[in-house]
Structure 1
């Protein structure tokens, strides 16, 4: 086990776009920063990061590797381990890891990313390659394929409408009969799509890489690209144990600055963000949280009066 100091100015849980961006910014202000994370991120399975003009198409492992080296260069320390628990008092936060013991800090940033809930029928090795959850990130690379959007109802129809321009054929497989008779379904049909009220029972990968799905109703569909809805759930484990107020999606309720209901805890990234929160959005939220933490340290109890004098609120 690598020896680490035990107390830091800030502990960051998570090493994705938000966590690493925040860690670098915090370390550049000469704070002692520890990142506790596992190496597998939400988008690790993807072949390339998209909608990132300065690093378009780069493999996630290469991008994160560069960010990690940058962070280390500024003095950030990493513990590649699972954060098991997090607790916070009025004076201190404590993070317990699986193999490296406990670490304490003056402040905590949750940047854990979402919890992925993939359907049981999904063939192994297809997530991030043929199966996605965003209409922006990998649809262009599958332009001209046969598409399927699979999920509960209106969100799935919306995903199909936002992706139909790429599809040779587009089939939305939904469970909601009411949504299938609604205006979104009508619009999808008007644009050449098909709406099927059914559920996928099994699926397999064909020799050419396409995925063949068989529904509970006995329909067989073949698609080169599948978009899923409902697979990204808020990461609530730490938010609940820390006693944080939750938002309507079940994640930690935050201000734009990433502040949570606990004065020593911030949250950033896609763990509690709306759908289609892209890489750049996660990174930006990490910057917002890092700035807010620096302001909290700098101004302490004077923070509210400082921003009021400037005509701005601490939540902006």
Structure 2
């Protein structure tokens, strides 16, 4: 039985594996090879690695693990169950792995509005986070596609990166009066009507076309996705994601511990706002919590054994006094 199985091999999972490996724990990282940021050209805001390709960051992270008792398994987890003293994880391949603790770092899946051509540009010139990709589309004609109640806020946020912002309501409710005044004050155009398609020319977003036949030129787009935690394999443990206004995530405490003792979560799967750098730190925090939890259990076991051994020795013998 391994000490820890980490399900998910992105920034959070690899960071946790590094810290646990350095704590002399035996660790297996299971990676399904579908990182949330795979479509993006680069990871931004990560000190010393700004602009690195997502898969290159994973490669570098795996290389850091080579000197420790950490192995990486390519595969998809389809189930998990509790064992006496730990857990069993089942892979799509039919393999099973056992460990005393589980850390879930599988991230999220972004569900986009059903607009023709939108998903093709996701992670390229269709962004969702200005702090991650705003610099790359600064001063361009940016279209904000309304999706949920934060559309006006998103348009106002991206206004910091460009003076040319258009909010496409896409048949979502109109902004409240106070929001309309704020949008007008920042020179943001509001376009009503249903979006028919996003058109790209020469591998770049070119325009947003409405069902009424009108076309609006843009150079980049942003939209708030609905996020879904990759956690279906945890239902056997009675652990299911919690719905929220943006989709669903796993609930955990400040250490990453979920409602199931022995199971932690870190990164986007439990915090949709976490950047890649924040997810890496989240994984490290969870690793410390897991190691401390295992240390406490090991101490309790050792103390019980020590007390049992002490109780089995006659008092005179324990003091070195001859008996008989």
Normalization by structure 2: what TM-score?
Answer: 0.84
198-207 or 35-44, larger mean C-alpha shift: 198-207
287-296 or 210-219, larger mean C-alpha shift: 210-219
Which residue of 2 is the match for residue 255 of structure 1? 253
Which residue of 1 is the match for residue 104 of structure 2? 110
The 2-side partners of 1:208 and 1:248 are apart by 36
Gaps of 5+ in 2: 301-324
Runs of 4 or more consecutive aligned structure 1 residues displaced over 6 Å after TM superposition: none
CA drift of 1:202 comes to 1.5
Contact kept? 2:7, 2:29, Cα under 8 Å? yes
Instruction: Give the 3 Å change call, closer, same or farther, for CA 91–138 of structure 1 in structure 2.
Output: same
Which residue of 2 is the match for residue 271 of structure 1? 269
**1:90-117 Cα deviation digits (max 9, x unpaired):** 6321111112511111111010000121
Instruction: Give the 3 Å change call, closer, same or farther, for CA 297–59 of structure 1 in structure 2.
Output: same
Which residue of 1 is the match for residue 217 of structure 2? 222
The 1-side partners of 2:262 and 2:188 are apart by 49
1:169 aligns with 2:167: no
CA drift of 1:271 comes to 1.1
The 1-side partners of 2:59 and 2:294 are apart by 29
CA drift of 1:233 comes to 2.6
Gaps of 5+ in 1: 1-6, 304-316
Contact kept? 2:110, 2:225, Cα under 8 Å? no
Which residue of 1 is the match for residue 29 of structure 2? 35
CA drift of 1:298 comes to 0.4
Normalization by structure 1: what TM-score?
Answer: 0.86
Instruction: Give the 3 Å change call, closer, same or farther, for CA 243–152 of structure 1 in structure 2.
Output: same
Contact kept? 1:133, 1:231, Cα under 8 Å? no
**1:124-166 Cα deviation digits (max 9, x unpaired):** 6422110111121111111111101113243222111111122
- Matches of residues 130-169 of structure 1 in structure 2 within 5 Å? 130-169=125-164
The 2-side partners of 1:85 and 1:208 are apart by 40
Which residue of 2 is the match for residue 60 of structure 1? 54
Larger Rg: 2
Which residue of 1 is the match for residue 305 of structure 2? none
3-state secondary structure, aligned to 1:72: coil
- Matches of residues 1-316 of structure 1 in structure 2 within 5 Å? 7-89=1-83, 91-99=85-93, 101-120=95-114, 121-123=116-118, 125-175=120-170, 178-207=173-202, 209-244=204-239, 246-249=241-244, 250-274=248-272, 276-300=273-297
CA drift of 1:292 comes to 0.6
Contact kept? 2:146, 2:172, Cα under 8 Å? no
